[in-house]
Chain A
Amino acid sequence: MSAIKGKNNLIGASIPRIDSPAKVTGKALYAGDIILPGMLHGKILKSTKAHAKILNIDISRALALPGVKDVIVGKDTPCIKFGNWRLFPNTQDELPLAVDKVRYIGDEIAAVAAIDPDIAEEALSLIKVEYEELPAVFSIEDALAAGAPLIHDENKELKSNISLDRKIDVGDIESAFKTADYIREDTFVVHPHSHAYMEPCATLAETDSEGRVTIYTSTQTPYIVQCLLASTLGIPENHVRVMKPAVGGGFGGKMELRKWEFCAAFMSRRTGRPVRFVLSRQEELESGRRRHGMNLKSKVGFKKDGTLVAKDFEAYLNGGAYNSMGPTATFLCGNFGAMLYRYPIYHYRGYHVYTNLPPAGAMRGFGAPQAMFISESQMNMAAIDLGIDAIDLRIKNAMVTGDKIEGVTTISSAGFVESLEKVASETKWKEKKKNLPKNKGIGIGCYSFISGGVFNWFNTQYNFSACEVRAYDDGTAHLLTMSCDIGQGSDTVLRQILAADLGLAVNMIRLTAGDTAMTPKGDLGTWGSRVTLMNGNAILDASKKIKEQLAKMVSIKFNLNVIHDVAFGDGKVFAKANPKYGMTFGEAVTLWVKANRGEELIARGVYTPRDKGLTTPAYSFGAQVAEVDVDPDTGVVTVEKITTAHDCGTVINPLGVEGQLEGAIQMGIGYTLSEQFAMKNGKTLNTTFLDYKVPSAEDMPQIVSYKVDTYEKEGPFGAKEAGEGLAIPTAPAISDAVFQATGYRCKDLPITPEKILRSKGKI
């Protein structure tokens, strides 16, 4: 990793996370740590049926239990539907609590608030729900079969369980395939995957005497929660204040309004007391959001020399019972299917299918791990058939800076070829592949990812990203932003960006983040790897305005020639050509305040990706090589080494990026080898970490990584996405390595010892 530090030695500096002292001493407060006087404890009653009409709910015994302060069912609420896709209200298919019907095991039916959690739990057991069971469907095939029950029969526009589809047609696919020398068509199945963030969701809500709600909640999108909570409660948005405390991981799983957020707010309004919900791991694993399982089909054509000719890609997403973020995953899966290589002709058909499973939502990579598992596996299979090395085949077709998908996107920077070359040389790829010892394998997988999305599905009226910067006469600044640090490190990176630009030390920047009553309205929060690029640009916008004002002060004071540039560094503002014409940052602010008769120096900064195509302003790229050992008797795969080369533009904080990479590999190994939901008739059977196997410290391989230098002109100081896309390459890389070791080619994730042994006829 390069040691050169840009701008004021802060861009590219491995500054330890600013929040780490609080976290390492246990002082950081997460939502479930906050205790308010008089606080009640909430619990939610969930459906035990996968698909059923609710005939009656009897809450009388629960209400009569001493210590119970409130019990609510769907009919008590304003019954307003919600969902993140506000642009298409018809996709907003969830009610805060089920009213007539439940659609999956875990669908929320009623909620209780009591003086302690045990009483609340006991009250749940006293609520009697009478159901009339309906036929349920769990697989995509069953959901689409003729005569399948319609899960959302209330939506008269839907004629089947397909809630939404997406088409992409670039070029004439039929004629293109006629020109191909080699065509392969594959069908893949990918499984759902739990975020398994370590902090189970928690929310605490309180209501003031005028009915205004404040909620502290484990979220990555305070603005989205604010809007949807206000609409479901039927109150003005400004009557809802969402505050994001420390968040114990999100990975996409905390970016919607959740039922317990509604229930906490609603019951705090009814009882006048604070209400807290803390989910259990069992609840999280049993019915929490998850990455989409998909059925995928891809036909891809090549010329003899390996040149790609066309791709026809089809994805069916098992969305579970509600849309959640599934529509976005359906769109993005199609966009990612077109990435990495130059497909002159590309078709995509994506279908989001309702089933009676727990809803799938956004998860790290957002449609890309699935799309690229099949496309990367196909590259590896095609390479063998074409007799071309898998890395050479990729280099031949790789996207490069300046490439365009007409009308969709422009690749403004790409270090993909360099990444491929780097992993090839560092792992001695070709040599190793030729001389593989028995039961050893080496494989490759690659990725590309977005730096925030362009598509405005939330239909926000405000700028996509915003911040406020206040400059003070004591030489400090205050940055207010809705971007949320959920573990990825944005509190540190954003302060680094502002400090670098204003020439202040990082600890001279105070940060207020994720408080909808304080931070500028409308920033959509943390998802899709948008924060560094989008909020970073908003910060530079605000910073520029502050600097212009302070430069004027220095200019006037020292009578600078108009051609002189004014620089900011070391806490000073000075003429670049002659630093003695300068003053401290604080003195410059003081002068400005005096010149403006007591005004406070404040600037707003915004960023909205206009004219940046339909997808994202910038893409990251990378290549990863996995080396594995497979035990021939047990089929157990041990990942020995993972080598990555990636292009994420300018790295603002190398320590943070490295940590993201290592964490992504852990998640990728889990996705590929050990994490799998065991389902039976819509019920999740493995609801503990004993049975849902997240890789431990002992399961991790040696990790080596290289950074490819690029400069992304769309990003602040040249930065772009880092860390999310890295969740993508590990599965195809390991799968390819397992194939090299065993001859087993996985088309049905996860890779299990059983599947390997079966392929060898050993069981």
Chain B
Amino acid sequence: MPKVNVKLKVNGDPYEVAVNPSGTLVEVLREDLHLTGTKIGCQTGDCGACTVLVNGKSVCSCLTLAVEAQEKEIITIEGVGLSYDKLHPIQEAFINEGAIQCGYCTPGMVLSAKHLLDKNPNPSELQIRQALSGNLCRCTGYARIVKAIEVAGEKMKNPVKEK
């Protein structure tokens, strides 16, 4: 099948890739752009490990065709925190609250959390749990992930000046 050229902006950078018409966004991110922070846990849209933001909305990149991302702005985990010294408050909270164990669900969790907090800086515990309902984690029992999102939400509302 002839390949299709797709232009997309990932974490602010412009890319142009030739993709299979049936190729998924997660394949392009991982295999073509080597952005392997986005994980694959199921490829059927059931685990959320592949969650990325497309024009600000969280999507399963395993169910999104690469051609659908044409001219779109994509944020992956690599675009959330710029470096170890400049982590996003969600990432800091995930670390400090112990929300990470094996870490395989973590990138997807962070992006779902970002999507939630960008829309709703004051989520209730129930709203957080609902927002995470498409992201499976087998290690943590979710408790610390929920806590981390609460802590991050607080911090994003009242950013403390850097010391």
A688 touches B136 (CB 8 A): no
Our pick among A26, A32, A700 for the contact of B143 (Cβ within 8 Å) is A700
Our pick among A246, A251, A281 for the contact of B44 (Cβ within 8 Å) is A281
Query: Smallest distance from the beta carbon of A489 to chain B beta carbons, Å?
Result: 7
A665 touches B141 (CB 8 A): yes
B129 touches A698 (CB 8 A): yes
Q: Does A578 contact B (CB under 8 A)?
A: no
Our pick among A251, A661, A698 for the contact of B130 (Cβ within 8 Å) is A698
Write the A6-45 contact mask toward B (1 if CB under 8 angstroms, else 0): 0000000010110111111111111011010000000000
Q: Does A655 contact B (CB under 8 A)?
A: yes
- Which residues in A have their C-beta under 8 angstroms from that of B47? 198, 281, 689
Q: Does A696 contact B (CB under 8 A)?
A: yes
A688 touches B77 (CB 8 A): no
- Which residues in B have their C-beta under 8 angstroms from that of A21? 84, 87, 95
B98 touches A14 (CB 8 A): yes
Q: Does B107 contact A (CB under 8 A)?
A: yes
A25 touches B87 (CB 8 A): yes
Query: Smallest distance from the beta carbon of B150 to chain A beta carbons, Å?
Result: 13
- Which residues in B have their C-beta under 8 angstroms from that of A14? 98
Q: Does B102 contact A (CB under 8 A)?
A: yes
B36 touches A33 (CB 8 A): yes
Q: Does A520 contact B (CB under 8 A)?
A: no
Closest to A249 in B: B102
Q: Does B40 contact A (CB under 8 A)?
A: yes
Closest to A17 in B: B100
Write the B61-90 contact mask toward A (1 if CB under 8 angstroms, else 0): 000000000000000111011001001000
B143 touches A198 (CB 8 A): no
B94 touches A690 (CB 8 A): no
Query: Smallest distance from the beta carbon of A674 to chain B beta carbons, Å?
Result: 12
B42 touches A26 (CB 8 A): no
Across chains A and B, the number of contacting residue pairs, with CB separation under 8 Å, is 180
Query: Smallest distance from the beta carbon of B81 to chain A beta carbons, Å?
Result: 5
A698 touches B133 (CB 8 A): yes
A700 touches B141 (CB 8 A): yes
Known contacts A35-B34, A697-B132: does B98 contact A487 (CB below 8 Å)? no
A198 touches B41 (CB 8 A): yes
- Which residues in A have their C-beta under 8 angstroms from that of B106? 23-24
Query: Smallest distance from the beta carbon of A165 to chain B beta carbons, Å?
Result: 33
Complex Cα spacing A660 to B81, Å: 27
Our pick among A196, A199, A487, A656 for the contact of B39 (Cβ within 8 Å) is A199
Our pick among A199, A655, A667 for the contact of B41 (Cβ within 8 Å) is A199
- Which residues in B have their C-beta under 8 angstroms from that of A662? 140-144
Complex Cα spacing A281 to B36, Å: 18
B110 touches A198 (CB 8 A): no
- Which residues in A have their C-beta under 8 angstroms from that of B98? 14, 16-17, 655-656, 658-659
Complex Cα spacing A26 to B61, Å: 15
Q: How large is the interface on A (under 10, 10 to 19, 20 to 34, 35 or more residues)?
A: 35 or more
Interface size on B, residues (CB 8 A): 56
Complex Cα spacing A251 to B137, Å: 13
- Which residues in B have their C-beta under 8 angstroms from that of A25? 37, 77-78, 80-81, 84, 87, 91
Interface hub of B36, B103, B130 (most chain A Cβ within 10 A): B103
Interface hub of A489, A667, A689 (most chain B Cβ within 10 A): A689
Q: Does A332 contact B (CB under 8 A)?
A: no
Interface residues of B in 98-114 (CB under 8 A from A): 98, 100-107, 110
Complex Cα spacing A108 to B35, Å: 31
Closest to B108 in A: A198
- Which residues in B have their C-beta under 8 angstroms from that of A656? 98
Interface residues of A in 645-669 (CB under 8 A from B): 655-656, 658-667
A26 touches B43 (CB 8 A): no
Write the B134-148 contact mask toward A (1 if CB under 8 angstroms, else 0): 111111111111100
Q: Does B8 contact A (CB under 8 A)?
A: no
A703 touches B141 (CB 8 A): yes
Closest to A485 in B: B102
Complex Cα spacing A703 to B143, Å: 8
Complex Cα spacing A688 to B140, Å: 21
A487 touches B143 (CB 8 A): no
B87 touches A198 (CB 8 A): no
Our pick among B31, B100, B137, B146 for the contact of A23 (Cβ within 8 Å) is B100
Write the B16-51 contact mask toward A (1 if CB under 8 angstroms, else 0): 000010000000001100111111111110110100
Known contacts A26-B36, A663-B141, A688-B46: does B103 contact A694 (CB below 8 Å)? no
A26 touches B135 (CB 8 A): no
Complex Cα spacing A35 to B27, Å: 13
Write the A251-279 contact mask toward B (1 if CB under 8 angstroms, else 0): 10000000000000000000000000010
Complex Cα spacing A29 to B34, Å: 11
Query: Can you list 21 A-B pairs, Cβ within 8 angstroms, ordered by A?
Result: A14-B98, A23-B100, A25-B87, A35-B31, A198-B104, A199-B104, A246-B102, A248-B103, A249-B139, A487-B104, A487-B139, A658-B98, A662-B143, A663-B101, A666-B142, A689-B41, A689-B46, A689-B136, A690-B46, A696-B142, A698-B130
For the A-B complex with A24-B81, A24-B87, A696-B134 known, give 10 more contacts whose Cβ atoms are closer than 8 Å: A21-B87, A25-B78, A35-B36, A118-B20, A249-B102, A249-B139, A278-B40, A688-B42, A690-B46, A700-B141
